[in-house]
Chain A
Amino acid sequence: MTASAQPPRTAHVIRSDAEAIAVAHKLAARFAVEASVRDSERRLPVAELDEFSASGLWGITVPKAYGGAGVSYVTVAEVIKIISAADSSLGQIPQNHLGVLDILVQTATHEQKRYYFDKVLRGYRFGNAFSESKSKNAGAFETRIRFDADTAQIDGEKFYCTGALFAHIVPAVAVNEQNQAFIAFIERDNPGLSVIDSWDGFGQRTTASGGVTLSAVKVPLSAVIPAHKAFDEPTADGPISQIIQAAVDTGIAVGALEDTKRYARESRPWIDSGQDHGWQDPFSIAAIGDLEWRVHGTEAILRKAGQAIDAALLDANEDTVAHASVVVAQAKVLSAEIALLASSKLFELAGTRSVLGKYNLDRHWRNARTHTLHDPARWKFHLIGNHLLNGVNPARHAWN
């Protein structure tokens, strides 16, 4: 696939939170139809993404002052959840695009905001070239940026570049001599930028989360923002990156539970149950009840996480940002747990026939297992406990 540097058509501009939710439901119903086929054939969702960004959903967080709807993060999480319940690869692809929009809000000049927000409202998609698989840890970068009088040059190698293959502009993170992180907005057809379709993970198969190489890529200084400022001072950027992760996993759980009920209804009765139908089995019924409250509990906490982010955006300080990180961490733990539980219980409650290849129901578990690895839930328990027990605020970075 070769991506063009421009969107094929102009995007609709969404005006309100309610419209965003309604559009998400409509799109999700369409995306659900071939989600399983796309997964089993690893058919990249090129046409679907054009429809997705043309719907206006990729521009909903553009501030009102720049012509967007500036929707709440309760709405952002709900939109990502709804799309992910239908196809979690499609739900994941905008995650870095949305993260980048907030870094623009936090660190770009007025002219840069006007320039990039206008493009986003017209349907331009940002990918990402952030993570590096060979650096010491997730927060360490070896990709370098060198500044001249009027250009910047970027050199490095990236991986887990979800969305880059489908993007019109690829924002890349690179560090200067002082190890400060910048983001350079690189046009998709810029010389020196190569996007490699090398993602062959067993889950989230159509996210094209592969590699990007940057060799002597040159951009004007106007295409560079001082991203490190989003973390030098307390901002909601970390919680914003995280809530989108939690929303994808919550969506996977919702989709898996729907399929669990659908296939459990058709299951055969167990011989010892004395029932005529599988759906009359008291143990299966209670197991569904258990999944139901856990999904609803996760959704309720996801909402609270959105509210905590909205509060931190309104008044960013050490306390509001720490609180947002703590609530988002709760959503992260709960969504990871229920996505894995529901996608596994599906088979227990639907019976052996549900593992047949023709149903491809294992995609829910493969997607849950793959996407929940983004950052480990075990450290979220620690983050929350350390805040409560020892009064330690969460470290500020894109994973908290």
Chain B
Amino acid sequence: MNALTQPVVARLSLASSQHDLHHARSLFDSTVGFVRQQASVSKDPFVISRFGDVHIRIEVAAALLERAEALLDAEQDATEIRVAIAESDLASAEALATASNAEFELTGRRTALSGSLHDPLRWKRHLIGNFRLNGIHPSAQEAV
């Protein structure tokens, strides 16, 4: 295995995005199930809107994951794929955070989530921005 290419292959994975999106959906479903058992709460306009918000974040994450998958399947330019995966990762992470906050607010419970020190989201924003603003490819950034 080539030490230089191996991490790049790892980064071309949609696993993180898929994991977060799946997790966000299951939190959404369990929170809906919880709220449905309390008739008065499920008619509260602010509770109703909260689910609308979580659903939007989940759908946009799903749409960006599909987009990244399509680029990966079509074997598009490696940089475009990297950027699309980073975008998908950010959307999925936001969906998960939104679902988790709604879970806590509406059920009083908080399902534990994993942290992101290892593969941090903040540097994914930077990766996207540096390519779109400055034309600097992700591989060039990593070399530095």
Contacts and interface: CB of A to CB of B under 8 A. Distances in A.
Interface stretch (B3-11, B54-62, B111-119): B54-62
A297 interface: yes
13 contacts: A264-B133, A265-B133, A288-B132, A289-B129, A289-B130, A290-B90, A293-B86, A296-B87, A334-B56, A381-B48, A386-B48, A388-B32, A390-B42
A297 B52 contact: no
Contact of A385 (B50, B60, B125, B132): B50
Interface string B41-84: 01101011111110110011101101100000000000000011
A245 to B, nearest CB: 16
Contacts, number: 125
B133 A293 contact: no
B60 A298 contact: yes
Given A261-B132, A293-B90, 11 more contacts: A265-B134, A279-B133, A286-B125, A290-B90, A293-B64, A297-B87, A300-B60, A300-B66, A334-B60, A384-B51, A389-B36
Interface in B84-119: 84, 86-87, 90-91
A330 B133 contact: no
A293 B57 CA distance: 12
Nearest to A282: B126
B60 A330 contact: yes
Contacts of A389: 32, 35-36, 42, 47-48, 51
B55 A297 contact: no
A304 interface: yes
A3 interface: no
Interface in B27-42: 32, 35-36, 42
Interface of A: 261, 264-265, 279-280, 282, 284-290, 292-293, 296-298, 300-301, 303-304, 327, 329-330, 333-334, 378, 380-386, 388-390
A285 B49 contact: no
Nearest to B41: A389
- The winner among A289, A327, A330, A382 for most chain B CB atoms within 10 A is A289
Given A296-B64, A301-B59, A388 B51 contact: yes
Contacts of B52: 329, 333, 380-386, 388
Nearest to B88: A293
B63 A301 contact: yes
- The winner among A280, A284, A381 for most chain B CB atoms within 10 A is A381
B127 interface: yes
Contacts of B56: 330, 333-334, 381, 384
Contact of A288 (B84, B91, B124, B133): B133
A298 B83 CA distance: 16
Interface residues of B, number: 39
B1 to A, nearest CB: 30
B66 A385 contact: no
The 7 closest A-B pairs by CB, nearest first: A289-B129, A289-B128, A385-B52, A381-B52, A289-B125, A300-B63, A384-B52
Contacts of B36: 389
Contacts of B66: 300
- The winner among A287, A329, A384 for most chain B CB atoms within 10 A is A384
Contacts of B125: 285-287, 289-290, 293
Contact of A297 (B86, B91, B126): B91
B49 A381 contact: yes
Contacts of B64: 293, 296-297, 300
- The winner among A264, A280, A285 for most chain B CB atoms within 10 A is A285
A301 B57 CA distance: 11
A257 to B, nearest CB: 9
Contact of A384 (B32, B55, B126, B129): B55
Contacts of A385: 47-53, 55
A293 B87 contact: yes
B49 A382 contact: yes
Contacts of A261: 132-133
A301 B60 contact: yes
A1 B96 CA distance: 54
B105 to A, nearest CB: 14
